[in-house]
A and B are shown apart, each in its own frame.
Chain A
């Protein structure tokens, strides 16, 4: 064969389809059949990045089947610096074993990185969910190595604005809210090509029933565009922002 090509192969600069990971052994099922066919599952022992415009668009519902699967098989799930409180009643209702959840709050990015590194390497933790503030590519690289070392997975939630940054993650998904669930764009996938936008139907957060047409509370703001909002703190400009009711 061409010596130049040999050299490139030896240095690992050329990706070979034969070396791509086996989809069945080192992947977790996502719990959504259409996502499983699209992605082949969540990578095991690797970093996954989820890029979202803001928290609360459905990123947890996306991960729920995996959380349920891991916690029920007795694997610990560590949450590093979640932006809000993971609400135990809702998690328990979704079938997650609360005894396997650990929420870690760190004061410093270094502590967070260290903690995640420890958790990923320890082989005692199935999944790390983390909300880092401005992670550097070097830090992510370290986490990727730690994940590969310990065979644990990590989900890193990042801002949408980081889409253009290079990342060593095995899988990068850009999430956007969609009326039916989530719109997912594959930005990077190890061993395969980036994909097009895809809409994933998530279970309805309320009842699983079709969304009712207009169950309007009596004094709620009018939602038809163009009409004046009569009541509610958001409407009239002279209406001051109400105080936090729990602070009184």
Chain B
């Protein structure tokens, strides 16, 4: 068996930094009274170091952002990173708070060895702006210790063991009390402890330590539960500096959309609805639903639609968190390509144009007029897409005006000529919209030809223009 352990030395700090283009000093704090637990490079350069009180840290770096150490967030991030790794390995185990364990012996041939796999993983995390220390080992614990101590990757088992045996005893996960006792006994390296007879260790330090050493050396099995990817996609970004312009949101949003595109590619899915939530400073949230007319799966399409929808939006308050959720999945259909590999068909161009217009102007402002088989003029058309079956071909339909008035206008002048009529249109008792009108075609003094009607109770109205 070969295990690959990926350690994220600054998981939460990297997460905060991802949303911003310029480095920002950030520190994680916990404890009572709160102390700095971890600081990123930018903060360390300004003198912030672990175990400082927050007052010291804040006076050293005035622009320092303090964030609580959030284990729930870290777990969520790990699960997200596991999704990225799922592309490379099938058996993944989450090791909270900051590690992932991959069983890779079964996929080595697929990737052409450990080194190419390592390179791909490293590149993935670099692209996502996460620091990752990766190491391989024959047992899960060995891989973990090698990765956490940032040792160089080696695909030779004997080198791995030699490196592991050379690690100080403090590098293990054993409690501090035990490591202290071991070093007082003169056992400073892991290798020295592994060479001791297990019965002696058990007698002096307890069976927990022997079991740990056995699992480390592979003498005792160490089963790892396999993680399975969720079937929905939900990512978020916490912003350290509140963003108050829409254009500033687009940069972090692009990262989220890239993740979505990768997720869709891995699962061979596509989607047509994104839910974008912008959380504001005081607990309020602006929700956007971004819809595409046709299924989509690439970052550029999503980003363009988001941009169009956001461009017109005025933010009520600065944004502190961006969340992206997708729960509607469609099977991906390959774009039909012609002989020369060109995919931009008239249809897809038209769909892209409609998507853009709908994103900016609103879905309900773009209508497709359609005819409906109803003899009442106002019911004979609808703004919808439903194709309706008609008993007669359109060429046999009665003559109607090209312009139809939503609200009939009173006819205020005597028409110059009467061209045709009357045509009595009545009925509609079945849906409560009964009409009874006599329609005429008349030329008015302005030269226009109007479709006028008269009701039995009197009153003349223009209902359309023969334009």
Interface residues of A (CB under 8 A from B): 53-61, 64, 74-76, 82-95, 98-99, 101-107, 111, 114-115, 118-119, 122-125, 176-179, 205-207, 211-212, 214-217, 219-223, 229, 231-235, 241-247
Q: Would you list 8 pairs from A and B whose C-beta atoms are within 8 A, ordered by A residue? A: A56-B448, A93-B400, A102-B368, A104-B365, A125-B353, A176-B447, A178-B447, A234-B413
Q: Give 1 or 0 for each of B387-407: 1 = CB within 8 Å of chain A CB.
A: 100000011010111111111
Known: A55-B465, A105-B366, A242-B460. 13 other contacts (CB 8 A): A57-B447, A85-B369, A88-B369, A88-B370, A89-B394, A90-B404, A114-B360, A118-B357, A119-B353, A215-B419, A219-B454, A220-B440, A233-B458
Q: Cβ of A87 and Cβ of B381 under 8 Å apart?
A: yes
Q: Give 1 or 0 for each of B423-451: 1 = CB within 8 Å of chain A CB.
A: 00000000000000110110100111110
Tell me if B331 counts as interface (CB < 8 A to partner A). Answer: no
Q: A205-B449, A234-B460 are in contact. Are A106 and B365 (CB under 8 A)?
A: yes
Chain A: minimal CB distance from B169 (Å): 67
A114 vs B356: C-alpha distance when bound (angstroms): 11
Which residue on B lies nearest to A242, using beta carbons? Answer: B459
Chain A residues, Cβ within 8 Å of B412: 233-234, 241
Chain B: minimal CB distance from A124 (Å): 4
Chain B residues, Cβ within 8 Å of A229: 414
Q: Cβ of A98 and Cβ of B366 under 8 Å apart?
A: no
Chain A: minimal CB distance from B452 (Å): 9
Q: Which of B17-25, B74-82, B319-327, B344-352 contacts A (4 or more CB under 8 A)?
A: B344-352
Chain A residues, Cβ within 8 Å of B176: none
| Range class of the B interface residue count | 35 or more
Pick from B405, B406, B447: contact of A177, CB under 8 Å: B447
A219 vs B458: C-alpha distance when bound (angstroms): 10
Chain B: minimal CB distance from A60 (Å): 4
A90 vs B357: C-alpha distance when bound (angstroms): 26
Q: Cβ of A89 and Cβ of B380 under 8 Å apart?
A: yes
Chain B residues, Cβ within 8 Å of A94: 402
A83 vs B410: C-alpha distance when bound (angstroms): 17
A223 vs B369: C-alpha distance when bound (angstroms): 36
Tell me if B207 counts as interface (CB < 8 A to partner A). Answer: no
Q: Cβ of B420 and Cβ of A177 under 8 Å apart?
A: no
Which residues of B from 333 to 356 have beta carbons under 8 Å from A?
A: 346, 349-350, 352-354, 356
Q: A56-B467, A119-B353 are in contact. Are A215 and B418 (CB under 8 A)?
A: yes
Q: Cβ of B404 and Cβ of A85 under 8 Å apart?
A: yes
Tell me if B371 counts as interface (CB < 8 A to partner A). Answer: yes
Chain B: minimal CB distance from A121 (Å): 9
A176 vs B446: C-alpha distance when bound (angstroms): 10
Chain B: minimal CB distance from A150 (Å): 10
Query: For A58, A84, A88, A179, which residue has the most chain B Cβ atoms within 10 angstroms?
Result: A88
Which residues of B from 290 to 308 have beta carbons under 8 Å from A?
A: none
Query: For A123, A214, A220, A222, which residue has the most chain B Cβ atoms within 10 angstroms?
Result: A220
Tell me if B422 counts as interface (CB < 8 A to partner A). Answer: yes
Chain B residues, Cβ within 8 Å of A58: 449, 466-467
Q: Cβ of A115 and Cβ of B357 under 8 Å apart?
A: yes
Tell me if B408 counts as interface (CB < 8 A to partner A). Answer: yes
A216 vs B422: C-alpha distance when bound (angstroms): 9
A54 vs B422: C-alpha distance when bound (angstroms): 26
Q: A53-B446, A102-B354, A103-B366 are in contact. Are A84 and B404 (CB under 8 A)?
A: yes
Pick from A87, A104, A232: contact of B401, CB under 8 Å: A87
Q: Cβ of A88 and Cβ of B380 under 8 Å apart?
A: yes
Chain B residues, Cβ within 8 Å of A95: 394-395
A118 vs B447: C-alpha distance when bound (angstroms): 36
Q: Cβ of B446 and Cβ of A111 under 8 Å apart?
A: no
Q: Cβ of A217 and Cβ of B448 under 8 Å apart?
A: no
Tell me if B99 counts as interface (CB < 8 A to partner A). Answer: no
Q: Cβ of B403 and Cβ of A84 under 8 Å apart?
A: yes
A95 vs B415: C-alpha distance when bound (angstroms): 30
Q: Cβ of A99 and Cβ of B395 under 8 Å apart?
A: no
A231 vs B414: C-alpha distance when bound (angstroms): 10
Tell me if B416 counts as interface (CB < 8 A to partner A). Answer: yes
Chain B residues, Cβ within 8 Å of A216: 418
Chain A: minimal CB distance from B360 (Å): 7
Chain A residues, Cβ within 8 Å of B381: 85, 87-89
Chain B: minimal CB distance from A29 (Å): 20
Which residues of B from 101 to 145 have beta carbons under 8 Å from A?
A: none
Chain A residues, Cβ within 8 Å of B459: 233, 242-243, 245
A179 vs B416: C-alpha distance when bound (angstroms): 11
Top 5 closest A-B pairs, CB basis? A177-B447, A56-B465, A205-B466, A242-B459, A124-B349
Pick from A105, A118, A235: contact of B353, CB under 8 Å: A118
Tell me if B233 counts as interface (CB < 8 A to partner A). Answer: no
A245 vs B422: C-alpha distance when bound (angstroms): 18
A219 vs B418: C-alpha distance when bound (angstroms): 13
Q: A241-B410, A245-B461 are in contact. Are A206 and B369 (CB under 8 A)?
A: no
Chain A residues, Cβ within 8 Å of B422: 217
Tell me if B455 counts as interface (CB < 8 A to partner A). Answer: yes
Chain B residues, Cβ within 8 Å of A179: 443, 447
Q: Cβ of A87 and Cβ of B366 under 8 Å apart?
A: no
Which residue on B lies nearest to A84, using beta carbons? Answer: B403
